[in-house]
Each structure stands twice: as C-alpha cells, then as structure tokens.
Amino acid sequence: MDTLLGKVEKGKVIDENDDYYFVQLSDGNAYRLDKKEIKKPLKKGSFFTGFTYENADHDRQITRETPRATAGKYGWGTVVKTRKDLGVFVDIGLPNKDIVISLDELPTETSIWPHTNDRILVCLSVDKKERMWAHPADYDVFKAISARADKTMINKNVNATAFRLKMAGSLVLTDNFLLGFIHASERDREPRLGEQLNARVIGVHPDGTLNLSLKPRNYEALGDDAAMVLAMLQHTRDQTLPFNDHSKPDAIKERFGISKGRFKMALGHLLKAGVIQQTEDGIVLKEK
C-alpha cells in the first residue's frame, strides 16, 4: 500500500488521552490529533478528515489545517534553519514540523543559500522511506502563476522574491505576481535564493515581464549635503535658490550651515544626478 503521509485522509477516532485523539486510517496506523485544534470534543467512533504527516518526534500526526504546500499544490515556505550537510528547513504551516529542501536542489555556492525568513515557493513529496521533502518551483510554475505587466509600471518600486540565480542576473516574482529580471549590472551583489528585494522597474517587455534594478535612483544616492540642498530647493516657491559655486563662503554658511567646499561638492552631485541646472544667478530645479 502506498503511504498515506502527505495527503488529506479520513479516519475513525479510536482512542484519546489528555492531549491527543488517535485517528485510525486505512493503512491501519493510528495518527495523533492534537486536542488544541478541536473546539467541540470528538466521540469515539466518529470520523475526522485532515492532513497527515510525521512530526518532529517521528510520530504520525493528522491536522485539520492543510499546509500552504502539498504534493499537489505549491505554496510559500518560510526558511527557519539551514544545514550545510542537509539543506534548508522551511515552515509551510504544519504544527511541530519543518520540511527540508535537499542541498541537491540548492545553489552550489552556499553563500547564496536562503537565510532565515527568506521564502521559497515549494511543493511536497514523500519518498519510499516515508520522508517528506520540499521541492522549489521551477520557471514553468512561476510563469504559469504570473500576470502581465503594462507600461504604467515604469519607474515604480516593487517587492519581489528571487527564485532563480544566474551569472547574468536574477529572476524574481513580485508580490503582485509579475515576473522580473535583474541584470548583473543592476545590482551590487548577487541576491540569495528566496531573498525578498525592493526593486525599481526600469523596463517592461512586450510579453509583460519586467526589467528591474536594485540600484537607487540618482537622487536617492545623494549624500546628506546634496539631499539637504535639494530639499531646500524643492520647498521654495519657484524651485530656485540664489546660490551657486560662485557664492561667498559666509553666505553659504549662513544659509546652509556648511562650508563652501562641501556646498560645491553637493552641487556636483546634484548636477551629475541631473536634477538641477546652475545659472549665473543660482540653481534651478529641473525635475521634482
């Protein structure tokens, strides 16, 4: 008989103690059912339907709540622990049981393995030794569940989860189920598998997939002095300030509280970012 572990099964209540009911299934085994899950007491001989698994103590258990991932359904698993000799443990919503993703299905480089609280889309399987394993979804699964983006996404920020790592870049799925690609030139480091990222949309392909960047916008990368000058400029009525790199040091110090050298460096950052224009009379905001 095939194992019943990892399936939703119906069985009969045959016994109980202070903490558990015992539900007998068609394989002849009695599965523990935690009484904390049951609001109305079960009678001996009544039937109960739930998801079956082997808990962390290697006891067969049945639970009312079907986990986020099963053998026939993909769901997000939250990483709770890693073991370099075994793989990654994920929480899929089972009481007292985390499921392992084998190291054979993880990147060769352990430096980009998931960390605690990263998340991976997985489904389950049970092997011949009745061990339950989690398996990361492949590209076809992500493609099947994805939606199409449109041009209105350009320059928007999105939250995304990395699911495939390549030398050329990273494939991600956004929280609103859009597929995205982060080219290696648009990141300062390679994301981890399952890492949750905040990215910016820099392109939308005809097929509805996104090009993303992990690098900040030019104005977001400004230093403190440049950000302060920009903020003051933005809050003027006409988006101009009567200061430039020819202004007197004392006037700069009085208005901005920094030296002329620091002010000139701040202007340099703003000019490079393309957000201001310098004139004979001062500086002008080019874009809000």
CATH number at residue 93: 2.40.50.140
Q: Does residue 69 sit within a domain?
A: no
Q: Does residue 89 sit within a domain?
A: yes
Q: Does residue 91 sit within a domain?
A: yes
**Domain match, 157 and 182 both:** yes
Looking at residue 222, its pLDDT comes to: 64
Q: Does residue 143 sit within a domain?
A: no
Looking at residue 216, its pLDDT comes to: 76
Looking at residue 225, its pLDDT comes to: 85
What distance lies between CA 242 and its chain's CA centroid? 46
The Cα 163–Cα 118 span in angstroms is: 11
Residue-number span of the structural domain to which 165 is assigned: 148-213
**Domain match, 163 and 191 both:** yes
Q: Does residue 173 sit within a domain?
A: yes
CATH (domain of 273): 1.10.10.10
pLDDT, one tens digit for every residue, the chain (288 residues): 579 999 999 999 999 999 999 999 999 999 999 999 999 999 999 999 999 999 999 999 999 999 999 998 999 999 999 999 999 999 999 999 999 999 999 999 999 999 999 999 999 999 999 999 999 999 999 999 999 999 999 989 999 999 999 888 999 999 999 999 999 999 989 999 999 999 999 999 999 999 999 987 665 656 788 888 888 888 888 999 999 989 999 999 999 899 999 999 889 888 888 889 999 889 999 864
Looking at residue 286, its pLDDT comes to: 84
Q: Does residue 248 sit within a domain?
A: yes
Q: Where are the beta strands (DSSP E) in the chain?
A: 8-16, 20-24, 30-34, 47-54, 60-63, 75-83, 87-91, 99-102, 119-126, 132-136, 157-165, 169-174, 179-183, 196-204, 210-213, 240-241, 276-278, 283-285
Q: Does residue 133 sit within a domain?
A: yes
CATH (domain of 36): 2.40.50.330
**Domain match, 208 and 227 both:** no
Looking at residue 226, its pLDDT comes to: 84
Among 87, 113, 137, the domain boundary falls at: 137
**Domain match, 17 and 58 both:** yes
Looking at residue 1, its pLDDT comes to: 53
The Cα 13–Cα 230 span in angstroms is: 71
Looking at residue 237, its pLDDT comes to: 86
Looking at residue 287, its pLDDT comes to: 62
Among 36, 63, 90, the domain boundary falls at: 63
Q: Does residue 80 sit within a domain?
A: yes
Q: How many domains does the chain have?
A: 4
**Domain match, 79 and 102 both:** yes
**Domain match, 113 and 58 both:** no
Looking at residue 217, its pLDDT comes to: 67
**Domain match, 98 and 121 both:** yes
Residue 100: name the closest of 112, 91, 110 by CA: 91
